[in-house]
Amino acid sequence: MGLFSRMLARLQDNWCRDCKREMEEARRRLFALPNQTVGHYVEHKDPGYYMEELWTIESKGDIPPGMYACGAIQYRCPQCGRRITVLDPFLPVRDKEKHEGALVFEDRALDDFLWR
Amino acid sequence: MNEAPVKKTNAVYLLLTILVPIVFIAVMGFIGAAFFRDGGAGAVICLLCPSVAAVAWWILGPTAIWNQKKKKMMKDLDAQGFYRNQTFYGGNQTVVVDVQHGKVALLFFWNPFELFVLPAGRITKAWAEDGAGGAGFMRGTNRVGFLFLIDNVKVRVNTFTSNQRWKMDDPKILEAISKADMMVQILETAKQASGS
């Protein structure tokens, strides 16, 4: 495996660290995070928190001003079948977004949550 | 509860804040000149200390009163059964909104002794201003806030101010715009709840 692939595996969330190849997007969802509001964002690393707090929404337009949203993407490695879930909490501001930094989870519980 | 028309500035308080230290300096200067003509510690106390005290008062005094009154405002509102859904501390004013009862509470820096608790229906207009200016790569802002007209008095609450121009997609600006939009929506919701 080349040095470039290793670097990508370290830097890119959607690269399988074992197979050093790009994972496929298996599921993409958008949620609201009603308990996270502008000026009071707190990062949580416990997947259980997100399973309790994320509310399913249809589009960004459903989120009132000042409330955080969270994009969720599940990736699957076509070679080894490894799955990860990337959560991307962000603040929608008119036509722009303020991202707080993606969180990567390998927790199976989040997998099921995304497919619910 | 004070339901009188909104008054952002108490002229007497403003004048006293500015003038009392000046009067104090003048009186102490007169005493110094009259009784300590030969100088010495008495002259220093009468001529130098009042000036230092006046500057300290101008810098710290109104802010100390303001901070104390803000704390008292919260206690008073709780005592009145005002449900504090949203509190916004602007530099020169504090806005608290009770969405359930459709009320808005206001306290102003230059009128800190009068707490206004008003039906939100008296707000005729509320809007956010991002202060965007400039063109191309120079486009940016140095002030973001929300404004509302209540009793035909325009109240401006800044959510961001700077002496530099910041890009419109800067995280600080986006957060400030979001706060302003959120406050406008909360004020509109409170206005509807008050029955107007």
pLDDT at residue B17 greater than cutoff 80: yes
Q: In chain A, which among 67-96 make CB contacts under 8 A with chain B?
A: 67, 91, 93-94, 96
Q: Could you tell me the pLDDT band of residue A10, with boundaries at 50, 70 and 90? A: low
pLDDT for position A11: 64
pLDDT at residue B137 greater than cutoff 80: yes
The Cα of B181 is separated from the nearest Cα of chain A by a number of Å equal to 6
**Minimal-distance CA residue of chain A relative to B185:** A65
Flag whether B111 is in a domain. Answer: yes
% of chain B residues with pLDDT over 90: 76
**How does pLDDT run across B154-188, given as a tens digit for each residue?**
999 999 999 999 999 999 999 999 999 999 999 99
pLDDT at residue B26 greater than cutoff 80: yes
Which residue segment(s) compose the domain that B144 sits in? Answer: 11-193
> How many domains would you assign to chain B?
1
**How does pLDDT run across A101-111, given as a tens digit for each residue?**
888 888 777 87
Which residues does B133 contact at the CB level (< 8 Å), separation at least 6? B139, B140, B141, B165
pTM: 0.84
* Cα distance between residue B179 and residue B88, in whole Å: 9
Q: Which of B159, B168, B178 to mutate to test the interface with A (most CBs of A within 10 A)?
A: B178
Looking at every residue in chain B, the average pLDDT score rounds to: 92
Flag whether B3 is in a domain. Answer: no
**How does pLDDT run across A12-42, given as a tens digit for each residue?**
778 887 887 888 988 899 999 999 999 999 9
Whole-angstrom CA distances from B51 to A2, B36, B38, B45, B189 are 73, 17, 20, 10, 50
Looking at every residue in chain A, the average pLDDT score rounds to: 86
Flag whether B54 is in a domain. Answer: yes
Which residues does A116 contact at the CB level (< 8 Å), separation at least 6? none
Query: In terms of DSSP bridges, do strands A24-37 and B140-150 run parallel, antiparallel, or are they unpaired?
Result: unpaired
* Cα distance between residue B14 and residue B5, in whole Å: 19
Instruction: Tell me, yes or no, if A6 comes closer than 8 A to chain B by beta carbon.
Output: no
Flag whether B4 is in a domain. Answer: no
Flag whether B64 is in a domain. Answer: yes
Question: Alpha carbon B19 to chain centroid distance?
Answer: 20
Q: For residue B171, give the 3-state DSSP assignment.
A: helix
Q: Domain locations in chain A?
A: 21-115
Tokens, residue A69: 């949203």
Flag whether B135 is in a domain. Answer: yes
The Cα of A35 is separated from the nearest Cα of chain B by a number of Å equal to 14
Using CA atoms in the order A48, A52, A57, A62, what is the torsion angle rounded to 10 degrees? -120
**Mean pLDDT, rounded, for A60-82:** 91
pLDDT for position A4: 64
Flag whether B6 is in a domain. Answer: no
**Mean pLDDT, rounded, for B81-100:** 93
* Cα distance between residue A92 and residue A89, in whole Å: 10
Q: Vertex B121, ends B120 and B127: CA angle to 5°?
A: 70
B102 and B85 Cβ atoms separated by less than 8 Å: no
